[in-house]
Amino acid sequence: MMGRQEAGQAPLFYAFNLEDHVPANHLLRGIDQFLDLGELHQHLAPHYSHTGRPSVDPALLIRMLIVGYCFGVRSERRLCEEVHLNLAYRWFCRLGLEDAVPDHSTFSKNRHGRFRDNDTLRFVFEKVLERCLAEGLVGGEGFAIDASVIKADANRQKGVPGADVAWDRESPLTRPVREYLEALDDAEAPRTPPKNVSLTDPAAQWTAAPGGPAFYAYSTNYLIDVKAGVIVDVEATPAYRTDEVEATRTMVDRVEQRFNLKPTRLIGDTAYGTSEMLGWMVDEKDIEPHVPVWDKAQRKDGTLGRSDFTWDADAAEYRCPRGKPLRSSGKPTADNTLIYRSNFHDCAGCELKSKCCPNTTHRKIARQVNEAARDVARQLAKTKRYEQSRRHRKKVEMLFAHLKRILKLDRLRLRGLKGARDEFLLAATAQNLRRMAAWLMPKRPEGAMAMAH
């Protein structure tokens, strides 16, 4: 028999408990178990007055932001609506059924004010990382480094050539423009004007993927531990290769200083195989460079390459296949290389001259100042540990795919380098929390896994 719902008089009282309506295998239960904001109030106390009307609890704002970044809710206005309607979100944010959800404008005031002034989002990120360490998800033996380009909130049509841009500092300027000009004023050395500058977000870099149109973007740089793919540090830079590589030093030093973690090996692609970076890894940090060497010395015309010459470390000279020396003056060039030259008379009567230096009177070899570190990387590339590192490097690429496809962070909402830093820190925090929930919580049914994503 067909049943019908009876519309009787509604009861006057309800017995309702949010705890009973959040599934035991919900992703937020796992995240809540590993998120500890107990020290947040003490961290932010200097930025609040001791008198006046109580503010919105900063822990509530952080929890709401984590919900947004965990589930790809990018709009703060929509986030407030979702928290208002979703029982699981209310439970995670410690809100009862009758508690009011903060207005979306509250996020802007706190993000650009107290949170940014006190580096609160990095504080939260590092607290989550501490929990990852405590749970044994960070091995500390191998780190992988990589960068991914994220589009900036800047119209590619609203830009001017870098050499033509002029800012009127007397008129009111937007926050991203003020931050950009302050960074220029604080820079130790002048930088070459970029090809294109956005008038709305001048710190964004004009870049292009191979075969695609150019756009304004920032790079998120991840330093991950390869044991479980936990992000141990994150840094925002303009989408510029030099800045991305330099961010590696910042992150490795910061993790060592704050958590006493220094990897045995550092894994990266060819972009991190420059002479300066390899010298820093090997000579300064004593880290094995599991990266391909950036090397353009090999010849493609069939003539003898540098590998055909033998390096004599004791005599600090090269030896050609006929045993003749190539010596240097010892004075490096502007690009930090030493030029080793053979003797003109040795080359004049050599039967290998047509294969060695057919177009010059004698042979020259350029050797990087950090060539010894480059040789270390070349030797490591022949080992089985290096082959394993190549597979481990995919873990950071998978995190970037998750960042863009699941967390929906393929375009920034905040402008300026500080805005990009805030977004990347929150996204990395969300990814670490999700990783802990996935690894440490009891296995969930397939339906619950689908709901979590």
Q: Regarding the domain with residue range 124-293+378-440, which homologous superfamily does it belong to in the CATH classification?
A: Ribonuclease H-like superfamily/Ribonuclease H (3.30.420.10)
What pLDDT sits at residue 79? 93
Reading the block at residue 177, the tokens are: 């423009």
Nearest C-alpha neighbor of 29 from the set 440, 446, 447, 421: 440
Nearest C-alpha neighbor of 140 from the set 265, 257, 248: 265
What pLDDT sits at residue 124? 95
The helix or strand, by DSSP H or E, that contains position 419, with its residue range, turns out to be helix 416-440
Q: How, if at all, do strands 159-161 and 265-267 pair?
A: unpaired
Looking at the DSSP bridge assignments, the partners of residue 223 are 145, 233
pTM metric for this prediction? 0.86
What pLDDT sits at residue 7? 65
Task: Please give the Cα distance from 265 to 289 (Å, whole number).
Answer: 6
What pLDDT sits at residue 190? 66
Task: Please give the Cα distance from 430 to 424 (Å, whole number).
Answer: 10
CA 191 to chain centre: 23
Which residue type is seen at 237? Answer: T
pLDDT tens across the length of the chain (453 residues): 676 766 666 666 666 788 888 888 899 999 999 999 989 989 888 877 777 777 888 899 999 999 999 999 988 899 999 999 999 999 999 998 888 999 888 877 787 778 888 899 999 999 999 999 999 999 999 999 999 999 999 888 878 887 777 777 767 778 888 888 877 777 666 677 777 888 888 989 998 877 788 899 999 999 999 999 999 999 999 998 889 999 999 999 999 999 999 999 999 999 999 889 999 999 999 999 999 998 776 677 778 888 788 888 888 888 998 888 888 888 888 777 888 898 888 888 888 888 888 888 888 888 878 888 988 999 999 999 999 999 999 999 999 999 999 999 999 999 999 999 999 999 999 999 999 999 988 765 544 444 444
What pLDDT sits at residue 13? 63
What pLDDT sits at residue 5? 67
Q: How far is CA 96 from CA 26, 84, 90, 91, in A?
A: 18, 10, 7, 7
What pLDDT sits at residue 307? 79
Task: Please give the Cα distance from 443 to 52 (Å, whole number).
Answer: 48
What pLDDT sits at residue 136? 93
The full set of domain ranges for the chain reads 18-118, 124-293+378-440, 310-362
CA dihedral 187, 191, 196, 199 (to 10 degrees): 20
What pLDDT sits at residue 3? 67
Q: Which residue blocks in 357-415 are alpha helix, DSSP H?
A: 371-380, 384-392, 394-405
Reading the block at residue 354, the tokens are: 């047509």
Cα 436–439–440 angle (5° rounding)? 75
